[in-house]
């Protein structure tokens, strides 16, 4: 499959879309970005990991900041860490500053990384992991068929959204207080405007036939 530059999707964008399609659109269509404590931690973390490094740990090859892509899905990106098992199987590890209540956001990202690595190296990638640096813990993510299907569906939805260029309405729910874009998004204000427009439209009399 051949993709134009406009059709290529960053693997990291899946996390934004999974969190909130409006957040994705604000960042990737409207080029809005703002920092909060979570994004600042993430930025610092990834600054430390952006230097490509190949090393050997416990006899295994480990690559940091490895560029990845999938011609099949039209994805491009970078893996924080890829550990190559004894049999050569790549094991992607995505570093996150802390846990999230919405695990799916991290899971789709690591699954997409695994799908890219499968295509690049021509071997099955059954699992990956999220590494939470705050706690030095890892959570393994099984790259199940259901999760892969979610990634494929999300990639299609993202591509459709990018083609329309229309930012979706706010979700205005429990995601918003922790969202770095809340000031740019103003979800409550937009919801009020939408609600009052809807209310007004209900009172506009239908034209006489
Ligand atoms: S503030 Fe809420 S609606 Fe707006 S982008 Fe963030 S999560 Fe989405």
pLDDT at 2: 81
Contact, 15 vs 23, CB < 8 A? no
Evaluate whether 74 touches 112 at the Cβ level (below 8 Å): no
**Distance from the alpha carbon of residue 75 to the mean position of ligand 1, in angstroms:** 24
Identify the residue whose tokens are 């036939």.
Answer: 209
Residues of the chain with pLDDT under 50: none
- Ligand 1 in reach of 179 Cβ (< 6 A): yes
* Ligand 1 contact via 185 beta carbon (within 6 Å): yes
User: What does the alpha-carbon distance between residue 74 and residue 2 come to, in Å, rounded to a whole number?
Assistant: 8
Q: Among 28, 36, 181, 192, name the best residue to mutate to test ligand 1's pocket (greatest count of ligand atoms within 8 A of Cβ).
A: 181
158 CB under 6 A from ligand 1? no
Please give the pLDDT value at position 45. 61
Backbone angles phi, psi at 89, to 5 degrees: -65, 125
pLDDT score for 129: 97
Atom 3, ligand 1: residue with shortest CA distance: 170
| pLDDT at site 133 | 78
C-alpha 26 to ligand 1 mean position (Å): 9
Q: Phi first, then psi: what are they for 17, rounded to 5°?
A: -65, -40
CA of 16 to the centre of ligand 1 (A): 10
Position of tokens 């892969």?
148
CA distances from 57 to 35, 60, 84, 117 (A): 34, 5, 10, 20
Tell me how far CA of residue 89 lies from CA of 11, 61, 74, 110, in angstroms.
20, 11, 22, 15
* Structure confidence at residue 137 (pLDDT): 86
Structure tokens at 177: 């207080």
What's the CA gap between 61 and 159, in Å, rounded? Answer: 35
Q: For 190-208, what is each residue's pLDDT tens digit?
A: 777 777 777 677 766 666 6
35 CA from centroid of ligand 1 (Å): 13
> Nearest CA to 171 among 26, 57, 29?
26
- pLDDT computed for residue 57 by the predictor: 84
Interior angle at CA 81, CA 75 and CA 86, nearest 5: 105
Q: How many CA atoms lie within 13 A of 98 on its CB side?
A: 8
- For each of the domains in the chain, give its residue range(s) and CATH number, in order of start: 5-203 (3.90.320.10)
- Name the residue with the closest Cα to ligand 1, atom 5: 23
């Amino acid at each position: 499959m051949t993709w134009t530059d406009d059709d290529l999707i960053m693997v990291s964008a899946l996390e934004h879309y999974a969190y909130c399609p409006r957040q994705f659109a604000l960042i990737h269509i409207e080029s809005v970005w703002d920092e909060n404590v979570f994004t600042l931690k993430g930025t610092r973390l990834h600054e430390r990991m952006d230097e490509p490094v190949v090393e050997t740990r416990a006899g295994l090859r480990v690559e940091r900041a490895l560029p990845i892509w999938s011609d099949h899905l039209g994805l491009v990106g970078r893996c924080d860490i890829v550990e190559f098992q004894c049999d050569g199987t790549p094991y992607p590890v995505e570093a996150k500053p802390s846990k999230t209540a919405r695990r799916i956001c991290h899971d789709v990202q690591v699954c997409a990384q695994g799908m890219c690595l499968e295509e690049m190296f021509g071997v099955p990638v059954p699992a990956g992991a999220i590494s939470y640096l705050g706690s030095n813990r890892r959570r393994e993510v099984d790259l199940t068929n259901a999760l892969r299907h979610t990634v494929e569906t999300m990639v299609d939805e993202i591509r459709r959204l990018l083609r329309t260029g229309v930012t979706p309405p706010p979700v205005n729910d429990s995601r918003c207080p922790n969202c770095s874009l809340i000031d740019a998004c103003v979800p409550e204000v937009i919801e009020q405007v939408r609600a009052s427009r809807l209310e007004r439209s209900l009172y506009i009399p239908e034209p006489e036939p």
